[in-house]
Amino acid sequence: MKALAGVALLMGLAGPLAAQDSAGVRLGITYSAGTRPGLIILPGPGLDSVRAILQRDLDYSDRFEVVALPASEVPRGGGGSINYRLYRTLGASYGVEVTGAGASLLVRLHDLDAGSVRKEQRATLPPADSPEFRMAVHQLADEVVRWITGLPGIAATRFLYLVDKQLWRIDSDGANAVAMTRPNEALSPAWSPDGNRVAFTHWLNDGTGPLVIQGLQGGNRTTVAGTGSALNITPSFSPDGQWLAFARVDEGGTDIFKVNLAAGSAPQRLTAGRFADNLSPTYSPDGRRIAFVSTRAGAPQVYVMSADGTDQELLAPFDYGVTGSSNGPEWSPDGASLAFHRDVSRAPQVFVLDVNSRRVRQLSSSGRNEDPTWAPDGRHIAFVSDRSGRRQLWVIDMDTGRIRQLRTPGAVRLPSWSRRIGTAAP
Amino acid sequence: MRLSLGFLMLVTAVATAAACGGKPPAEQPTPVAADTTGDGARARARQDSIDAANRARAEADRLAREAADRAAADRAAAAARAGLTSDLASVIHFDFDKSDIMSGDMANLDRKAAILNANSNVQVRISGHADDRGSDEYNLALGNRRAAAAKRYLVSKGVADARIAIVSFGEERPVAMGADEASWAQNRRDEFEIVSGGDNLVAPR
């Protein structure tokens, strides 16, 4: 962890780090060998799908150098003692052993350097053909990350995204894509903090659209109080799930409101820009502030206010008449940063603002890159990029610069990354 | 001599009769009364049917002429109405990320204002649109601002505020699908839709 924190300091560098986002290649700019311990999934009888999911999850956590075991080195038989020396030779510091029968698992973390078991946990998995099976394995993977680094991983998470205004959700590893609406029906999706509900604009295709909240299976769709007329977009839940901030587009312009979801009372107006548009609110994780986009200085830029609408001020600095439009802000889970996209030569690029220093740095430069959304670990960001030829979801690890694509059919837009789903298996 | 008296009396009687019942030649009875039967009557009937046919043809011609005139007038009126409708519905365009009315579109909006002012029962809806280069959600606000700009212009020309509704479709309804300036320019637009009262538009004086 200490080594990783050292790497994280590099994030403070101002200016674009263009080398960071070369597709699919690990670059040496911010990653140096040794900062990521080697990790190996130990071979064993059966449970191949569990090991495969764990191995990919631990790889995608970007906190380890996941070591593949050469086929020639696969030990014969099971039940013997762990050959620590062999795995150390392969460069691994940690070994993850999975054993068990039926749905009952034992996950063991071996410290290969010390030659001992560091942690272990028993878990009961849902049937392999149930939708919960993979998510349960993801939760185990996140737990292994926590054993080693002190912070859980991000495998047990989901994305929302739109294709042809149809809302989809998909697991963090790209599995289990589920359509949550019909096509041409949704805009502006957002997760509730518990990951059990989603809010989005119900696009009625007549210039109006209420905000609705629905469960993960698509049932129980309810209209948010006070959004039954006009066009209501860019919802954002408060961290406690009690409030929904959003923008209303109507005759009076575009302004930000918030509504108490439990009380069902009329929305409160937070901005009053007669000659400016205000939209895309995003709560700080402590719930006390809301960052948002405003055109009060001409081009859209990122501002901040107290959650009651007072103390409005510029948040992400810009050069008037020079800096491109800035949109799509999302506050990081640790509150220290804000991701957004900003036009550079008329193409949007992903930027991260350090909230305390007010310094921005550019994360992307290849193609159009927009609508960043944070992973719960605060170091991964997903965004939409057309670098592969059509709009797809990409995930970048800001510590290593490693980037990967989530392949989905269709042209993706407006993604939202959930917080961690549920809790680890008992 | 007796006979002669009688003859004389007869002659006298005849002469008297002739003098009393007869008329000057100019006052002879008309041939019609005399020709009610025979060859004269048949000629007369033929003439009658010719006259009737001529009259019917003339009447038909007159009706056809009137119908043609009416149709032409209808066509002209329909064309005029269609012209008014298309003037009302014609789109205006915007610069990238701008919602200012372009000077080239002001005559267009002036025409719309004149038509709306001459047809006070007409309600319209303006929808604002954007190209797909800006942010998806920001484009909804931008489209709304474009619709509002056209509305503000029309209201400044005397059209009642309540007669104009505005909506925004952002970049969700492109008319040109290309990724080039020509397509983008077409997509940055306001559309004008007659919501009600558009059936019998009258031209502004």
Nearest to A373 by CA among A344, A324, A339: A339
The shortest C-alpha distance from B83 to chain A (Å) reads: 26
Strand partners, A167: A162
Put simply, whether A250 touches B (Cβ < 8 Å) is: yes
Put simply, whether B135 touches A (Cβ < 8 Å) is: yes
> Crossing angle, helix B106-118 and helix B39-89, to 10 degrees?
130
What number of C-beta contacts closer than 8 Å exist between A and B? Answer: 72
pLDDT recorded at residue A15: 37
Token pair, residue A114, equals: 């010390």
Contacts of A300 in chain B (CB under 8 A): 135, 138
- For the stretch A128-142, pLDDT in tens is 888 889 999 999 999
Asked if B88 and B190 count as a contact pair (C-beta separation under 8 A), the reply is no
Put simply, whether B144 touches A (Cβ < 8 Å) is: yes
Task: Specify the length of chain A in residues.
Answer: 426
Contacts of A280 in chain B (CB under 8 A): 137-138
Nearest to B136 by CA among A410, A201, A244: A201
Contacts of A345 in chain B (CB under 8 A): none
Residue A6 scores a pLDDT above 70: no
Residue B58 scores a pLDDT above 80: yes
Out of B137, B148, B166, whose CB is closest to A233?
A: B137
Map residue A292 onto helix, strand or coil: strand
Residue A26 scores a pLDDT above 60: no
- Mean pLDDT over all residues of chain A? 88
CB contact under 8 A, B135 and A327: yes
**Can you give the pTM of this predicted structure?**
0.83
The shortest C-alpha distance from A420 to chain B (Å) reads: 26
Nearest to B98 by CA among B51, B61, B52, B133: B133
* Residue B171 to residue A185: CA distance in whole angstroms: 15
Chain center to CA of B9: 85
- For the stretch B120-149, pLDDT in tens is 999 999 999 999 988 999 999 999 999 999
Contacts of B169 in chain A (CB under 8 A): 207
Residue B57 scores a pLDDT above 50: yes
pLDDT recorded at residue B80: 87
Token pair, residue A135, equals: 């998510």
Spatial CB neighbours of B175, under 8 Å, sequence gap ≥ 6: B129, B186, B187, B189
CA geometry: angle at A236 spanning A334 and B170, to 5°? 125
> Crossing angle, helix B136-156 and helix B106-118, to 10 degrees?
60
Higher per-residue pLDDT: A81 or B88: B88
Instruction: Count CB neighbours of B66 within 10 A.
Output: 10
> What is the rounded average pLDDT of the residues B54-68?
93
Asked if A424 and A142 count as a contact pair (C-beta separation under 8 A), the reply is yes
pLDDT recorded at residue B172: 96
CB contact under 8 A, A254 and B144: yes
Put simply, whether A280 touches B (Cβ < 8 Å) is: yes
CB contact under 8 A, A328 and B137: yes
Helix (H) or strand (E) holding B124, with range, is strand B123-129
CB contact under 8 A, A413 and B134: no
From residue A338, alpha-carbon distances to A284, A287, A304 in Å are 9, 14, 11
Contacts of B133 in chain A (CB under 8 A): 346
- For the stretch A361-407, pLDDT in tens is 999 999 999 999 999 999 999 999 999 999 999 999 999 999 999 98
Rg (CA), chain A: 23
Nearest CA in chain A to B140: A249
Nearest to A355 by CA among A1, A12, A32: A12
Contacts of A346 in chain B (CB under 8 A): 133
Contacts of A279 in chain B (CB under 8 A): 137-138, 140-141
Give the pLDDT band of residue A73 (cuts 50, 70, 90): low
Put simply, whether B145 touches A (Cβ < 8 Å) is: yes
Residue type, position A389, single letter: G
* Residue A361 to residue A192: CA distance in whole angstroms: 28
Helix (H) or strand (E) holding A188, with range, is strand A186-191
Residue A62 per-residue DSSP state: T
Percent of chain B at pLDDT > 90 equals 68
Residue B27 scores a pLDDT above 80: no
Token pair, residue A303, equals: 């501002």
Token pair, residue B148, equals: 């509002």
pLDDT recorded at residue B34: 52
Out of A188, A325, A414, whose CB is closest to B97?
A: A325
> What is the rounded average pLDDT of the residues A168-192?
95
Put simply, whether B141 touches A (Cβ < 8 Å) is: yes
Give the pLDDT band of residue B42 (cuts 50, 70, 90): confident
Give the pLDDT band of residue A275 (cuts 50, 70, 90): confident
Residue A5 scores a pLDDT above 50: no
Residue A25 scores a pLDDT above 50: no
CB contact under 8 A, B127 and A165: no
Residue A74 scores a pLDDT above 70: no
For residue A270, report the phi and psi dihedrals to the nearest 5 degrees.
-105, -25
Give the pLDDT band of residue A2 (cuts 50, 70, 90): very low
The shortest C-alpha distance from B176 to chain A (Å) reads: 17
> Crossing angle, helix A48-60 and helix A132-149, to 10 degrees?
50
Residue type, position A195, single letter: G
Contacts of B141 in chain A (CB under 8 A): 247, 249, 253-254, 277, 279, 295
From residue B150, alpha-carbon distances to A56, B87, B164 in Å are 54, 14, 10
Strand pairing category for A166-171 and A158-163: antiparallel
The shortest C-alpha distance from A283 to chain B (Å) reads: 17
The shortest C-alpha distance from B198 to chain A (Å) reads: 20
Q: Where are the beta strands (DSSP E) in A203-325?
A: 211-215, 222-223, 231-237, 243-250, 253-260, 268-269, 278-283, 289-294, 301-306, 313-314
* Residue A29 to residue A33: CA distance in whole angstroms: 11
164-203 in B: which are within 8 Å (CB) of A?
165-169, 172
Nearest to A384 by CA among A367, A402, A359: A367
Give the pLDDT band of residue A96 (cuts 50, 70, 90): very high
CB contact under 8 A, A188 and B137: yes
Q: Where are the alpha helices (DSSP H) in B90-194?
A: 106-118, 136-156, 181-187
Residue B158 scores a pLDDT above 60: yes
CB contact under 8 A, A253 and B168: no
Out of B136, B165, B169, whose CB is closest to A413?
A: B136
Residue A418 scores a pLDDT above 70: yes
Percent of chain A at pLDDT > 70 equals 88
The shortest C-alpha distance from B141 to chain A (Å) reads: 6
The shortest C-alpha distance from A392 to chain B (Å) reads: 15
Put simply, whether A176 touches B (Cβ < 8 Å) is: no
Strand partners, A348: A343
Residue with tokens 């649109």, as numbered in its chain: B129
* Residue B158 to residue B100: CA distance in whole angstroms: 19
Sheet harboring A326-331: ordered strands across? A326-331, A337-344, A347-354, A359-362
Residue with tokens 């049917």, as numbered in its chain: B49
